């Protein structure tokens, strides 16, 4: 009950603040972002001390090494936070942009204006730099934010929250424009995702379990990113060098990212020619190969892929490989097993490439490029709050524009309907 | 259980058909639309006979006069259906349009392609012409559709469904691209809105009760339209003639539409001058006035408005009136009571108009125009499937574009991430 009251209070405050942030000039928002950077710079000792407390508590409670690594902040981490704020301040402000303003036969002008969503709730895990990153993207896009970081980062997040408040107030913006939860009580998340009167959208950032739980229980709209089961299809008409380069890069550039290739599809006509050299290159990097029966005729070292493999996001040095008859079978496989994140075709054939681009229903569809390019920075969004695999509102990397929508604006001169 | 199996079958069929419709050429989709029109024309006796059966059953079961009126089809109704199909065929096809295709520093080109949502479920009430209208909009936007009309229109809808199938097949499209439920079992709706594996979006069209129920129970995304509590604010700097014309038109052009004004706000500085003539004009049309205390000092005939009045969509010849200090109080009132559908300001002041346009958070915001313009046809969308008062994906009138989203497309030449 106490948590409910607390969250309701935060929600009410955020709703009020959201109207002021939505109306704020670009210059004011940028000044706030730079003032937050100044505050982070000035309070770095405080932040590092708070972080050290979190890390010590994490060690004492037996947090695993990967989580501890993501939790820990150092001088470079602080510099990264400051740099991120400067970059977001430099991005173009999407709010208020009017497009397609045209005269209609009635004489009115009708157009669309880009507007903030309102109040955004963000739920994330251990990395404390997300606190500032999420705050900066919400603020620049004219939204109020309620942030709920991992309980293991509570002291770091509170220290960063103090900097955010300081920056907001210095620029004349309401301190409730960004509120970081002061509690680690898990019930707070349950409240946050079920108060549509105060929160317009929730963005969960973290493991699949967290996102599934939130999607299931939320009554507020969720912008979510589940798996990244990405495919590269090497077509009959693929260039051999490009096929090798893209397959190796898409799998091995980084193993733990959502835009990493998990399944390689290859046309039967090219399998015997190309699979051995691809396998050699992957083998040299220690990638385990799991193949369909035809693959295993060509690659003796590959283990048998189960049906489960085709639907698994390994996030590891493992690749499943399937030989397909042609682009039709490749697209059928993708339609069945892909998580609709990113798929790429390697082909020199104009018609096949054009078809793949239109017919594959994923948030990013590529020709002759590594799936690793599916990223807000690579796409020129400047920053991203996540990669949406949903079908409506925002698909793919979600930047500032993904945190806004459009309303209609109508300009008349006393016009009435006949 | 039988209903569950039936709906699952429809869902599976729709999912398969959706890939074919999404890839269909514009010409093929247009031929299907015109072939449906031809079928409706050829089968008009059949359709009218089926409709007569529905009307007779409705009369026997004591359906009220307004519902019977919406249910009944005549020659003009058939002509309207045919005309609607021809109009949708003539609309530009949004699918596949690529925008913002730009080179990035890495050398890849990144752009956005407009794509169908997939499978759309539409739940509507008595009017049988909605069956063809909804089918045509879904088809043109490259989506498969599952339609669930009112049980009182079941025979009419089945007759129209036969025409739709005939047209689809004539154009070489899968007959499952549009499926009209053959059952009137209410459990089917419950299934339709809870099978995200087969249905991507649900659009409920009907009364508030229906929409609230569906929004509450759906696990599929809902594009919804709840109330239209629309405001006109007459500012200090309003032109008197425009204020009178817009107030009268926004209230009395039609009473039962969602874009009709329900509350008039007027600046104190203009209330004594303008309210009497507005009241006279409304009085002549039989509109009941309910006012705040200050309004009632000026308009003796107005009854007292309760707090409930400010939050009521009358859909009737009733208007609530409130005198406010200025645009700030007007915007505060709107933020509190509006359903975020449509609001209009009457002003000649540049700065006030500019502020209102940006700061009012409704799906349509107008200057010097009647709220009655908030409509897909008036906005040039060609047709609308509804008016969304949601904040994300689509706001305001939803036409073909509102039934699509955008994916990223990336063109490379063997590019890999460094």
Q: Which of B106, B241, B407 has the CB atom closest to A363's CB atom? A: B407
* Tokens coding A10: 């935060």
Put residue B39 in one of left, alpha, beta given phi > 0 → left and psi -120 to 50 → alpha: alpha
Do B58 and B192 lie in one domain? The reply is yes
Do B248 and B332 lie in one domain? The reply is yes
Contact B110 A201 (CB under 8 A): no
Do B254 and B328 lie in one domain? The reply is yes
Q: Is the pLDDT of residue A326 over 80?
A: yes
> Rounded to a whole number, what is the distance in Å from the CA of B391 to chain A's nearest CA?
6
In order, the DSSP letters of A225-253 are -----EEEEE-TT--HHHHHHHHHHHHHS
CATH of the domain at B337: 3.40.309.10
Q: Let me know: does B244 contact B274? Beta carbons within 8 Å.
A: yes
The reported pLDDT for the residue numbered A299 is: 97
Q: Which domain holds residue A54?
A: 2-224+398-410
Set of chain A residues whose Cβ sits within 8 Å of the Cβ of B12:
none
The reported pLDDT for the residue numbered A312 is: 96
Set of chain A residues whose Cβ sits within 8 Å of the Cβ of B106:
373, 378
Q: Is the pLDDT of residue A1 over 80?
A: no
Does A239 contact B at CB distance below 8 Å?
A: yes
Q: Is residue B250 part of a domain?
A: yes
CATH of the domain at B181: 3.40.605.10
CB A29: neighbour CB atoms within 10 A? Answer: 24
Do B9 and B32 lie in one domain? The reply is yes
Set of chain A residues whose Cβ sits within 8 Å of the Cβ of B115:
361
Chain centre to alpha carbon of residue B9:
28
Look up the pTM and report it.
0.92
Q: Which of B110, B391, B405 has the CB atom closest to A405's CB atom? A: B391
Portion 150-209 of B in contact with A at CB < 8 A: 200-201
Q: Is residue B380 part of a domain?
A: no
Q: Is residue A378 part of a domain?
A: no
Q: Is residue B418 part of a domain?
A: no
Q: Is residue A386 part of a domain?
A: no
In chain A, the number of structural domains is 2
Residue A219: pLDDT band (50, 70, 90) is: confident
Residues B245-258 have pLDDT tens digits of 999 999 999 999 99
The reported pLDDT for the residue numbered B14 is: 98
Set of chain A residues whose Cβ sits within 8 Å of the Cβ of B241:
414
Do B155 and B235 lie in one domain? The reply is no
Do A268 and A365 lie in one domain? The reply is yes
Q: Let me know: does A288 contact A317? Beta carbons within 8 Å.
A: yes
Contact A395 B406 (CB under 8 A): yes
Whole-complex ipTM: 0.93
Q: Which of B115, B369, B393 has the CB atom closest to A361's CB atom? A: B115
Q: Average pLDDT by consecutive 10-residue portion of chain B (418 residues)? A: 94 97 97 98 98 96 90 95 96 96 97 97 91 97 97 96 98 98 94 95 88 89 89 98 98 95 98 98 98 98 97 96 98 96 98 97 97 94 87 90 96 96
The reported pLDDT for the residue numbered A273 is: 98
Q: Is the pLDDT of residue A277 over 80?
A: yes
Do A219 and A235 lie in one domain? The reply is no
Q: Spell out the residues 6+ positions from residue A182 whose beta carbon is closer than 8 angstroms to its own.
A: A158
Residue A393: pLDDT band (50, 70, 90) is: confident
Residues B351-360 have pLDDT tens digits of 999 999 999 9
Q: Is the pLDDT of residue A72 over 90?
A: yes
Residues B148-181 have pLDDT tens digits of 999 999 999 999 999 999 999 999 999 999 999 9
Do B130 and B251 lie in one domain? The reply is no
* Tokens coding B172: 């070489």
Do A194 and A249 lie in one domain? The reply is no
Percent of residues, chain B, with pLDDT higher than 70: 100
d(CA A270, CA A290): 18
Does B354 contact A at CB distance below 8 Å?
A: no
> Rounded to a whole number, what is the distance in Å from the CA of A102 to chain B's nearest CA?
9
Do A259 and A219 lie in one domain? The reply is no
Q: Which of B23, B108, B366 has the CB atom closest to A410's CB atom? A: B366
- Number of A to B CB contacts under 8 A, please give it: 218
Q: Is residue A380 part of a domain?
A: no
Q: Is residue A379 part of a domain?
A: no
| Angle, helices A44-60/A75-90, rounded to nearest 10 degrees | 120
Q: Let me know: does B127 contact B156? Beta carbons within 8 Å.
A: no
Set of chain B residues whose Cβ sits within 8 Å of the Cβ of A246:
414-416
Do B98 and B205 lie in one domain? The reply is yes
Do A106 and A157 lie in one domain? The reply is yes
Q: Is residue B40 part of a domain?
A: yes
Q: What is the 3-state secondary structure (H, E, C) of chain B?
A: CHHHHHHHHHHHHHHHHHHHHHHCCHHHHHHHHHHHHHHHHHCHHHHHHHHHHHHHHHHHCCCCHHHHHHHCCCHHHHHHHHHHHHHHHHCCCCCCCEEEEEECCCCCEEEEEEEECCEEEEEECCCCHHHHHHHHHHHHCCCEEEEECCHHHHHHHHHHHHHHHHHHHHCCCCHHHEEECCCCCCHHHHHHCCCCCCCCEEEEECCHHHHHHHHHHCCCEECCCCCCCEEEEECCCCCHHHHHHHHHHHHHCCCCCCCCEEEEEEEHHHHHHHHHHHHHHHHHCCCEEEECHHHHHHCCCCEECCHHHHCCCCCCCEEEEEEECCHHHHHHHHHHHCCCCEEEEECCCHHHHHHHHHHCCCCEEEEEECHHHCCCCCCCCCCCCEEECCCCCCCEEECCHHHEEEEEEEEEEEECCC
Contact A415 B369 (CB under 8 A): yes
């Amino acid at each position: 009950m106490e948590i409910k009251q607390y969250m309701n209070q935060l929600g009410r405050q955020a709703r009020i603040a959201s109207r002021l942030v939505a109306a704020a000039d670009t210059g004011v928002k940028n000044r706030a972002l730079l003032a937050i950077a100044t505050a982070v710079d000035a309070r770095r000792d405080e932040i590092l001390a708070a972080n050290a407390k979190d890390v010590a508590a994490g060690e004492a409670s037996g947090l695993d090494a990967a989580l501890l690594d993501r939790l820990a902040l150092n001088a470079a981490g602080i510099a990264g936070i400051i740099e991120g704020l400067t970059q977001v301040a430099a991005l173009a402000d999407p709010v208020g942009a009017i497009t397609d303003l045209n005269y209609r036969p009635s004489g009115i002008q009708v157009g669309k204006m880009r507007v903030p969503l309102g109040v955004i709730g963000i739920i994330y895990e251990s990395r404390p730099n997300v606190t500032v990153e999420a705050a900066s993207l919400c603020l620049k896009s004219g939204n109020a934010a309620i942030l709920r970081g991992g309980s293991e980062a509570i002291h770091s997040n509170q220290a960063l929250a103090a900097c955010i408040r300081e920056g907001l107030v210095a620029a004349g913006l309401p301190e409730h424009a960004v509120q970081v939860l002061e509690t680690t009580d898990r019930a707070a998340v349950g409240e946050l995702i079920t108060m549509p009167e105060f929160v317009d959208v929730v963005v969960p950032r973290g493991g699949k379990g967290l996102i599934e739980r939130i999607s299931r229980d939320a009554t507020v709209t969720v912008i979510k990113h589940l798996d990244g089961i990405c495919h590269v299809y090497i077509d009959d008409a693929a260039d051999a060098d490009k096929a090798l380069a893209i397959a190796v890069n898409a799998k091995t550039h980084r193993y733990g990212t959502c835009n990493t290739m998990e399944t390689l599809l290859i046309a039967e006509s090219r399998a015997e020619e190309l699979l051995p050299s691809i396998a050699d290159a992957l083998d040299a990097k220690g990638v385990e190969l799991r193949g369909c029966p035809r693959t295993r005729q060509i690659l003796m070292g590959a283990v048998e892929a189960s049906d489960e493999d085709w639907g698994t996001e390994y996030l590891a040095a493992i690749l499943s490989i399937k030989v397909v008859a042609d682009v039709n079978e490749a697209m059928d496989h993708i339609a069945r097993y892909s998580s609709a994140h990113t798929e790429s075709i390697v082909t020199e054939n104009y018609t096949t490439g054009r078809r793949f681009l239109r017919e594959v229903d994923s948030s990013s569809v590529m020709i002759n490029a590594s799936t690793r390019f599916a990223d807000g920075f690579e796409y020129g969004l400047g920053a991203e709050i996540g990669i949406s695999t949903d079908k409506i509102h925002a698909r793919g990397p979600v930047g500032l524009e993904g945190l806004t929508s459009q309303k209609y604006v109508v300009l008349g001169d006393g016009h009435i309907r006949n």
